[in-house]
Structure 1
Amino acid sequence: MANLNKLGLNERQQVFLVVAFYMVTALVMVSVNKWALNTLSLPWLLLWCQMAIAVLLLKITDYAGFLKMPIIQKDVAKALIPLISINVLGLGVNTLCLVYVDTSFYQIARGLVLPFTVIFAYTLLGQASSKLVLGACFIVFCGFYTGVTSELNVSQLGIFFGVVSSITTSLHAIVIKKSLGAVNNSSIDLVYYNNALSLLATTPIFFLSGEYSEVMLRLNEEGFAAFHSFLFAAFVTGIFGFLINLAGFLQISKTSPTTHMVSGAVRGVLQTLLGYYAFNDIITSGRLIGIVLILGGGALYTYAKDQEMKANTKPTYIPMTQQDADDDDGDRNKVGRA
């Protein structure tokens, strides 16, 4: 992957570019996913196609000499099992959430990312939170509760998948930071391993979910024409799935899990507007209040973390590998800001 430093950009400009890249690709990804699922409700097939196309594109860039893909090694693959597990689960519940809720409510259904981020930062990284941060989490929870309870016809299953998605999103940023150490801090290597191994993990799920039987039934009854729109959407989302992998890993490696979460919140606002204009979603007063509270809590959290960073002269780091976490000497290889 091209080094952003070669573009002549300073650190702030690099962070802005990476975050903007992530937000644009994520917005397109959600929109086209919703379109594909409205065409045919085959979430696991959609995910499988996305990852297959992403792996194919990575291989093409390797053959063309633009990027160098790693040879998958057993010990590295074993070290990445937590990342692959969270990635497959996260992609699955994200897509299933979109199946059961509309685009604008998707922001509320996944609104507990911040509280779970704070919880995991404490339980997994030992990072205690200030009262202001806890207050921000409470505001976000109020937004989630208001948005969920104000909807009469919302799918409870969609809300469940949204909550699980919040958990996996919170864990994903932390696990990416730690997983980079297993691939010598190479974002592109991690992208390739993540897609290739996730593709393998998703294949049996596609068959076990019953979607394979549904695909065969449709092929027998309607022929290949029934899948034209779906496959086109899957192809588009596969390309943007490839891009969002690069964008997500770049953002985590260049910034922090906190920035990843905040940019996700901003993306949620744009996503809500997109759902309103592109999919004719209904924005109720309860839904609007819920979104405002969730974003307000996120803004308060960002302010609180900014004040903490200004107050602390010594930066806090997230260890990239278990060896770093366990090493008690003063010369540990710490390579990621929390």
Structure 2
Amino acid sequence: MSANKYGLTERQAVILTVGFYMLTALVMVSVNKWALNSLRLPWTLLWIQMLIAVLLLRATDYFGAMKMPSLEKDIAKNLIPLIAINVVGLGVNTLCLVYVDTSFYQIARGLVLPFTVLFAYILLGQPSSGLVLGACFTVFCGFYTGVTTEINVSQIGIFFGVVSSITTSLHAIVIKKSLAAVNNSSIDLVYYNNALSLVAMTPLIFLSGESADIMMRFADSGFAAFKSFLFAGFVTGIFGFLVNLAGFLQISKTSPTTHMISGAVRGVLQTLLGYFAFNDVITSGRLMGIILILSGGALYTWAKDKEMRANTKPTYIPMTQQDVDEEQDDIKKGTQV
């Protein structure tokens, strides 16, 4: 297996990319929860994160670390589906986190796999085997178990979780398709995504009524009321930039399936984080739901790996000099034809 310019094999690069994504995403969720516990201004928090991400990207361009593209109208038009899904996805993710515990976040967004398989069939025409459908059913059972055994669970939080599952499933597919619009440059796509999402998210602060809430709080307590929130916004902005970059890198280096599986593993870590950091209560129903969701994800991964192995043709390896000569003769004949 050949190494890249950094001396890493393809497998090592994939492992590092996935690990980087999981770490940054985990920190992002925990700090987001802390920020929203301070002030419930989800769209403003997302806007701050986008602004910091764009400023950081421009800083890397200014200091020569990375070259940022100039925004072009034609490319921006081609990226409208990505921007729309990104803004909606970030919004419902954050709103879901507002209404549910960190440990329940995994269950509320547990339908990512079934929707991924469904959209793969509808949008890409990819049929699924019985094992894959069985994995989806297992995941659905985990989601159903988790949401029906909770007494004080927020129904609106579950709703945002389901919508988040839909946008997450579509997001990985759309990113893969959107890369062609920017000549397969992950960095260019990250910049376009953040810059255009920042513009698209600005009116949402006013439409959601958060701008009026900010003005009222500022009039009552001044800047002091926003110190913790702004600090949290700055921290989440930095990690939002990192998780955005990590997500694009992971999908460009791997596949939507790997992106989904690593997200499931991240969910387990989030559950543990909610228990230890935010004192979340892990009920038996919640625990069973998480186990079923992860079991379905594991079954899906095994089923897809089995399918890939079955569809892989054995590589012909010439064993003798005669085999090599015969192969060369075949190549020459094919060229002459």
What letter matches 1:163 in structure 2?
Answer: V
What does 1:99-138 align with in structure 2 at a 5 Å threshold?
99-138=98-137
After superposition, the C-alpha distances for 1:38-87 in whole angstroms (9 at most, x for unaligned) are 00000000000000000000000000000000000000000000000000
1:214 aligns with 2:196: no
Instruction: Quote how far apart the aligned CAs of 1:6 are.
Output: 1.9
Question: d(CA) in 1 for partners of 2:252 and 2:128?
Answer: 23
Instruction: Quote how far apart the aligned CAs of 1:113 are.
Output: 0.1
> Given the two structures, how large is their TM-score scaled by the length of structure 2?
0.92
Aligned residues: 311
Question: d(CA) in 2 for partners of 1:246 and 1:218?
Answer: 34
Tell me, which stretches of 5 or more residues in structure 2 are unaligned? 314-337
Question: d(CA) in 2 for partners of 1:293 and 1:45?
Answer: 35
What does 1:104-183 align with in structure 2 at a 5 Å threshold?
104-183=103-182
What letter matches 1:16 in structure 2?
Answer: I
Aligned counterpart, 2:279 = 280
After superposition, the C-alpha distances for 1:235-281 in whole angstroms (9 at most, x for unaligned) are 00000111011100000000000000000000000000000000000
Instruction: Quote how far apart the aligned CAs of 1:7 are.
Output: 1.2
Instruction: Quote how far apart the aligned CAs of 1:21 are.
Output: 0.2
> Given the two structures, how large is their TM-score scaled by the length of structure 1?
0.91
What letter matches 2:171 in structure 1?
Answer: H
After superposition, the C-alpha distances for 1:139-169 in whole angstroms (9 at most, x for unaligned) are 0000000000000110000000000000000
Aligned counterpart, 1:334 = none
1:306 aligns with 2:305: yes
1:98 aligns with 2:97: yes
Aligned counterpart, 2:27 = 28
Instruction: Quote how far apart the aligned CAs of 1:313 are.
Output: 1.9
Instruction: Quote how far apart the aligned CAs of 1:12 are.
Output: 0.6
Aligned counterpart, 1:328 = none
What letter matches 1:201 in structure 2?
Answer: A
What letter matches 1:76 in structure 2?
Answer: I
Question: d(CA) in 2 for partners of 1:205 and 1:7?
Answer: 42
Aligned counterpart, 2:71 = 72
User: Secondary structure at the residue paired with 1:5?
Assistant: coil
Instruction: Quote how far apart the aligned CAs of 1:302 are.
Output: 0.3
Aligned counterpart, 2:317 = none
Question: d(CA) in 2 for partners of 1:8 and 1:309?
Answer: 28
Instruction: Provide the identity percentage.
Output: 81
After superposition, the C-alpha distances for 1:19-42 in whole angstroms (9 at most, x for unaligned) are 000000000000000000000000
Tell me, which stretches of 5 or more residues in structure 1 are unaligned? 315-338
Question: d(CA) in 1 for partners of 2:5 and 2:115?
Answer: 36
Aligned counterpart, 1:55 = 54
User: Secondary structure at the residue paired with 1:282?
Assistant: coil
Question: d(CA) in 1 for partners of 2:125 and 2:13?
Answer: 29
Instruction: Quote how far apart the aligned CAs of 1:5 are.
Output: 2.4
Question: d(CA) in 2 for partners of 1:66 and 1:252?
Answer: 22
After superposition, the C-alpha distances for 1:112-139 in whole angstroms (9 at most, x for unaligned) are 0000000001000111000000000000
**Structure 1 consecutive aligned stretches of length 4 or more whose deviation exceeds 3 Å:** none
Aligned counterpart, 1:242 = 241
Question: d(CA) in 2 for partners of 1:233 and 1:175?
Answer: 30
Aligned counterpart, 2:5 = 6
After superposition, the C-alpha distances for 1:142-197 in whole angstroms (9 at most, x for unaligned) are 00000000001100000000000000000000000000000000000000000000
**Bigger CA radius of gyration:** 2
